[in-house]
Amino acid sequence: MTSLLLAFILLALSLVGVVLRKTYYALPLAELKRRAADHDHESARLYQAVAYGSSLRGLLWLYIAATSAAGVIVLARHLPLWLSLLLVMGVLWSAYSWLPASQPTRIGRRFTLLVTPFVAWVLNYFHPLLQRLTAIASRR
């Protein structure tokens, strides 16, 4: 029972990654930078992470992939593997088809503002590695 709860928590965490991605990329980088220069505190905080460019995108993709894969692994203990893969793919497909079509929510924006200092701290240390990985991935 607890591992089933853990699987659903991991799936919820992967959806949180989709919400973070949506909130970070709701505005173009130039507009976010302009608002940050005009002393908009929320935009300035978001710009801390978005300024890393492809490294932020790579970090969010790795986070979503890791939490989704962990959800599949834990869910496969209770369901057949094909059913757990289908369930996780369905959740992510619905998230990627529904969430980008809507505007960022106030709750998603507040949560993103809350975790942005941690995301910026991680990017500060892993930016060179993530930049190389995203450059390799973009070439393929």
pLDDT tens for 49-106 read 999 988 999 999 899 889 988 888 888 888 787 887 888 888 777 777 766 667 788 8
Runs of H (alpha helix) within the chain: 2-24, 29-37, 41-50, 54-75, 81-98, 106-139
Cα distance between residue 70 and residue 65, in whole Å: 8
